[in-house]
Amino acid sequence: MSSAASRFPECVPVLSDGPVTLRAHRVDDIDRIVEQATDPEMSRWTTVPVPYTRADAEGFVLRQIPDLWNTAGAMCWAVEVDGRFAGGVDIRGAGAEVEIGYGLHPDMRGRRIMSRAVRLAVAHAFAAGRTGIRWIGGDGNEASLRVAHQCGFWLDAWVPGGAVVRGEPVDVFRAWLRAGDRPYPRTSWESTVADAARMRDAHPGPGERNLDTQATYLASRMRERRP
């Protein structure tokens, strides 16, 4: 991903579908990053520091992002729309199976920008040899689940206490996209929501609820979804 001759920001591939572009983060993104990170939805569903300061954004843009690219720890892009910073999307990890994360600036939401950005990022990751991309989202984070649904991710587990946000365990859903999968919805949004509810409620008690241990209904639905 990077070398002595190709380091941040030169090592960052620019990806675009026309309206949406993924590029390296820049200093002039900092003000809008602060606006995004201090939005209540970001505080609720992500691990951004609370309170979030300009110094946090500067450290993110000037140190954290370059270090991740230079050490191949993650591929982190700024999302640009109409010449403005619109959010971020990142592919985390250096192995064959990686994790995706994303977030939009409040004034860019509701325009399906993130689903376009995610498709660009996952296409690049698969072209670079990744075989599976995992999404993990808090139970109740409908906006993030909707993006995953729009991009073809299929739910495979509900994990109580599966993530920690500012020291507190939170319940999460997990979904996957595999190399060769089409990055578009496999079912209706209503069907995905219904599956999520059934997955959550299928088996009370601790531990991960995955499709191998749940009702025949869910197992059959998963087989129907796979190409």
Retrieve residue 127's tokens. 């072209």
Whether the pLDDT of residue 216 is over 70: the answer is: no
Over residues 69-110, the pLDDT tens digits come to 999 999 999 999 999 999 999 999 999 999 999 999 999 999
Location of structure tokens 């995004």: 36
Location of structure tokens 């720890």: 73
Over residues 36-76, the pLDDT tens digits come to 999 999 999 999 999 999 999 999 999 999 999 999 999 99
b (16+ CB within 10 A) / e for 181-217: bebebbeeeeebeebbebbeebeeeeebbbbeebeee
Over residues 144-193, the pLDDT tens digits come to 999 999 999 999 999 999 999 888 999 999 999 999 999 999 999 999 99
Strand, coil or helix: 216: helix
Rounded (10°) angle between helices 189-201 and 142-150: 120
Which letter does DSSP use for residue 128 in this model? T
Question: 149 and 114 in contact (C-beta within 8 Å)?
Answer: no
Percentage of the chain surpassing pLDDT 90? 81
Determine how β-strand 97-104 pairs with β-strand 154-165.
Answer: unpaired
Counting runs of H as helices and runs of E as strands, what totals does the chain give? 8, 9
Over residues 9-28, the pLDDT tens digits come to 999 999 999 999 999 999 99
- The Cα angle at residue 12 between residues 136 and 132, in degrees rounded to 5: 35
pLDDT at 201: 84
From CA 19, how far away is CA 111, in angstroms rounded? 11
From CA 181, how far away is CA 71, in angstroms rounded? 28
Whether the pLDDT of residue 218 is over 50: the answer is: no
- Model confidence band, residue 209 (pLDDT cutoffs 50, 70, 90): low
What Å distances lie between residue 59 and 28, 34, 51, 157, CA to CA?
A: 13, 12, 15, 34
So where are the chain's domains?
A: 131-227
